[in-house]
Amino acid sequence: MKKILLASTLCAVLVYGDAAALLPVEKRTFDQSKYIPDISAILDFSYVNNSVKDDEIAHLELPGVAHGLLGEHSHGDSNHATYNAKNGFNLNYAEVVLSSSVDPFLSMDAVFHFSEHGVEVEEAYFTTTALGHGIRARGGKLNSNFGYLNAQHHHYWDFGDMPLVYEAFLGMHGINELGGQIQWTAPTPFYLMAGFEVLQGTNEQMFGNESVDIEEFSGVEEDKIKGTSAPSLYVGYVKASHDIGDTTIAGGVSYAQGDSMIDHSDDHEGPHVFNGDAKLYGADFVVLHSLDSYSSIKWQSEWLGRELDGIQYNLETFINPNMNKKQSGLYSQLIYTHDKNWKMGVRYDTIYKNDVVANGVNKNMTDDFNKYSAMVEYHTSEFARFRLQYNRNEAMYNEDGNRVDIDTIMLQANISIGAHAAHSF
Amino acid sequence: MNKFLLLFFLPLSLFAHLNIAVSYPYIGALTKTIGGDHIETVVLAKGNWDPHFIIPRPSLISKVRNADALIMNGGQLEIGWLPPLLNRAGNPKIEPNAKTFLNLSHHIELINKPANVDRSGGDIHPDGNPHFHLSPQNILLLANTIKDFLISIDTEHKAVYEKNHSEFLSMWNQKMKLWSEKMASKKGLKVIQFHDNLAYFNNAYGLLNIGTIEPLPGIPPSSKHTIEMIELIKKEQPCCILHDVYHSTKTAEFISQKTGIKVVLMPHDIEALENINDLGSLFDHLTSAIK
């Protein structure tokens, strides 16, 4: 009996399966294939040759600004690496992007970052489409619209690495947070947009609100540096743009303010935690002149300045000074797009101000951080580009405080397939 | 209180112009012809540039943000630049599916719809060739579509739109006769193009496109393909290379040197060349270009 039942079920499945395969899509009763969202996959793969060995590069720092900026770092179980971290080959990511309208009122986008170590939800948010009056709201995990570069994905950048000042202040993901965003485009003849964001505030280089456990250092049970409650990061910006003939001029000012908890309690040497307030100022300026349909010159610059004010808890010495840091830097890049195939550009990076004051005493930190980059790109089509980039990094210092200059040659392939939405300006 | 309300609504009724954003100049001209004084058109793309590659400048966001309606070409011609503008505009009136949104390609039968869609075949338009406005017959269909659209969003001025439309119709029908006479002797001529922009124009007047300078749609010329084209031209003896205004004519000039056939610049839209400032002069030029 059982056998008969099994056989008949099997037959039914086969017959049904067969029928489904034979029926054209529009005649399948419960077919939903037309609702498949736009799906795209983007691969970023690079070959890197650094003049400094991987072990050494991971220990270099920007004194007073950022630790372990380059290379690969392990924190317990998790592995953290910047783009193009290692000598030799790097799979920076295989990114999967899904997007679609949800209903007449919303759309949704999700960006998954697959690496060799796992998957990260890079972005996943819904966007309103029906509010009107130039208003758009967004909620979920998102790239803040602070500045110009922050909202753009890595695969759209003109260089394979992040500008020094961005990576030093905010880390390789920039301001990428859980939260809500509201933007308003003004009813003006020229472009004017203002936006405001409320974010969780968990940027490991600058913002944070989670308590840090220091029991293992103080020996006191349940000893903690107390955090604050989330959300604790607020971002606002105003952007404007105007065209003069074939030239577009765009500029913006941005401001971010939040609680800061920078946790370096895992560091082998001088473990410490910074807790206080953080403010970030930004100004961006872009000029794009089109020569024809395919050729253009783009000059893009951003300035970032930040102030950190709070207490640095040194977990070995238990000397906990009041710390005030005022730091600023900028990048400026010039990109020439020759035609559909060729693009080239140069970039200058600097952090020129690094005032670190502990208990009212200026620590006279170095403010000599510079980086120079040049690149040339070949596009086989809009969907594939190969980039050769050279970096001269004169910004990194070793544990003895001596500058270690790094020359890097990078050959990067950025390939995309599927249905990927066009990028905004 | 009532007076206050009146004051509030008065300015709105005084400026009851419909502000219509359109993607390309030809749509703007057609819409303005039918809409007349009751509408304002804002053209997003410039007529002398490649319609596939428009930079989504922020200034264009403001233009669609302030629009009461949007008319686009469709057929994926705007896929690379219009979506990010709509996405940032925060204007439900210009979202697809709004009744103030018009996709013209839905009202035209597109030709050359590919059986297979794969990017190894270049930048294919999956819905067929989207350059349908370059057939004078299609302009009639488009005019009718735009008339119906304007009436549907502004019924009050129905009579005006119908009058403007019928005036345009009789003018265009006369013009079409002239163009047909001019092009009668050209029937059966073989032509080469850079990109198959003129598929509908060629169909309308019986010109035969036998090849394109780009090896595949959207893929820049290669030396191998150029040599093949020279061989083909020597064998098939086409009259000329019909070239768009936005690609470099370098490869075409080279082929012309090797084979002796002419390169003829063919405007694809209003403002593509200096003296082309309306739909009539666009087709006047196109139908006189091949000597």
Provide the pLDDT for residue A70. Answer: 85
pLDDT (tens digit per residue) in B253-288: 999 999 999 999 999 999 999 999 999 999 999 999
Cα separation, B27 vs A110, whole angstroms: 35
At B29-50, the pLDDT tens digits run: 999 999 999 999 999 999 999 9
10 Å CB burial of residue A160 (0-12, 13-18, 19+) is buried
Inside any domain, residue A12: no
Residue A282 lies in a domain: yes
Kindly indicate the confidence band of residue A5, based on its pLDDT and cuts at 50, 70 and 90: low
A111 in any annotated domain? yes
Residue A116 lies in a domain: yes
CA distance B56 to chain A (A): 6
How far is it, in rounded angstroms, from Cα A365 to Cα A353? 9
Token reading at B270: 């209003």
Cβ separation B92–A136 shorter than 8 A: no
Q: Are A286 and A298 in contact (CB under 8 A)?
A: yes
Are A381 and B218 in contact (CB < 8 Å)? yes
Q: What is the pLDDT of residue B230?
A: 96
* pLDDT tier, A102 (very low <50, low <70, confident <90, very high otherwise): very high
User: Cα(first)–Cα(last) distance of chain B, in Å?
Assistant: 71
Q: What is the DSSP letter of B220?
A: P
For residue range A228-247, list pLDDT tens digits in order: 999 999 999 999 999 999 99
B90 touches A: beta carbon within 8 Å:
yes
pLDDT-based confidence at residue A10 (cuts at 50, 70, 90): low
Q: Is the pLDDT of residue A309 over 90?
A: yes
Tell me what pLDDT residue A68 has.
Answer: 79
Structural domains of chain B in order of their starting residue, each with its CATH number:
14-176 (3.40.50.1980), 185-289 (3.40.50.1980)
Q: What is the arithmetic mean of pLDDT over B191-210?
A: 96
Residue A151: band (very low, low, confident or very high) from pLDDT cuts 50, 70, 90:
very high
Between CA B73 and CA B76 the distance in angstroms is: 8
In a domain, A1, yes or no: no
Closest residue in A to B42 (Cα) is A189
| Banded model confidence at residue A75, pLDDT cuts 50, 70, 90 | low
Q: Does B50 touch chain A (CB under 8 A)?
A: yes
- Cα(B268)–Cα(B286) distance, rounded to whole angstroms? 9
Domain that holds residue A402: 38-418
In this prediction, residue A41 has a pLDDT band, given cuts at 50, 70 and 90, of: very high
| A81 within some domain | yes
> Looking at the partner chain, which of A133, A185, A186 has a beta carbon nearest the beta carbon of B88?
A185
Residue with token string 């040659």: A409
ipTM: 0.89
Q: What is the pLDDT, as a whole number, of residue B2?
A: 53
The pLDDT > 90 percentage for chain A reads 78
Rounded to an integer, the average pLDDT of B203-221 is: 94
Average pLDDT rounded to a whole number, residues A37-62: 94
**pLDDT, tens only, A384-425:** 999 999 999 999 999 899 999 999 999 999 999 999 888 888
Report whether A315 contacts A275 (CB < 8 A).
no
Q: What is the mean pLDDT of residues A92-102?
A: 96
Q: Do B84 and A421 touch (CB under 8 A)?
A: yes
A14-23, A59-68, A408-417: range with lowest mean pLDDT: A14-23
Q: What is the mean pLDDT of residues A375-382?
A: 96
What's the mean pLDDT in B190-219? Answer: 95
Residue A380's pLDDT is 94
Tell me how many helices (H) and strands (E) chain B has: 10, 8
Q: In percent, how much of chain A has pLDDT > 70?
A: 93
The CATH code of the domain that includes A392 is: 2.40.160.10
Contact B90 A134 (CB under 8 A): yes
The reply to whether omega before A231 is within 30° of 0 (cis) is: yes
Average pLDDT, chain B: 92
**Per the domain annotation, does A361 fall within a domain?**
yes
Per-residue pLDDT, A218:
84
For residue B81, give the nearest of A133, A294, A422 by CB distance.
A422
The reply to whether residue B90 touches residue A131, judged by beta carbons under 8 angstroms, is yes
3-class SS of residue B225: helix
User: What average pLDDT does range B200-208 have in this prediction?
Assistant: 96
The reply to whether residue B92 touches residue A129, judged by beta carbons under 8 angstroms, is yes
Which pLDDT does position B16 carry in this prediction?
58
Q: Is the pLDDT assigned to residue B3 strictly greater than 90?
A: no
Q: Quote the pLDDT of residue A312.
A: 94
What pLDDT sits at residue A8? 57
Predicted local distance difference test score (pLDDT) of residue B14: 44
Higher-scoring residue by pLDDT: A270, A248: A248
Answer whether residue B237 shows pLDDT above 80: yes
Give the integer Cα–Cα distance in Å for A25 and A33.
8
Of B49, B61, B81, the CB nearest to A191: B61
d(CA B140, CA B144): 6
Q: How many other C-beta atoms can be found within 10 angstroms of the C-beta atom of residue B234?
A: 12
What pLDDT, on the 0 to 100 scale, is given for residue B13? 42
pLDDT at A257: 97
Of A61-65, A286-290, B1-5, highest mean pLDDT: A286-290
> Could B49 and A292 be called an inter-chain contact, meaning their C-beta atoms sit closer than 8 Å?
yes
pLDDT of A23 > 80? The answer is: no
Number of structural domains chain A divides into: 1
Give the minimum alpha-carbon distance from A345 to chain B in angstroms, rounded to a whole number: 19
Q: Does A4 have pLDDT greater than 60? A: no
Query: What average pLDDT does the segment B167-181 reach?
Result: 97
List, for residues A342-363, the tens digit of each pLDDT value.
Answer: 999 999 999 999 999 999 999 9
Q: Flag whether A142 is in a domain.
A: yes
Mean pLDDT of chain A: 91
CB B244 within 8 A of CB B268: yes
Using the Cβ of B132 and the Cβ atoms of chain A, whether some distance falls under 8 Å is answered with: no
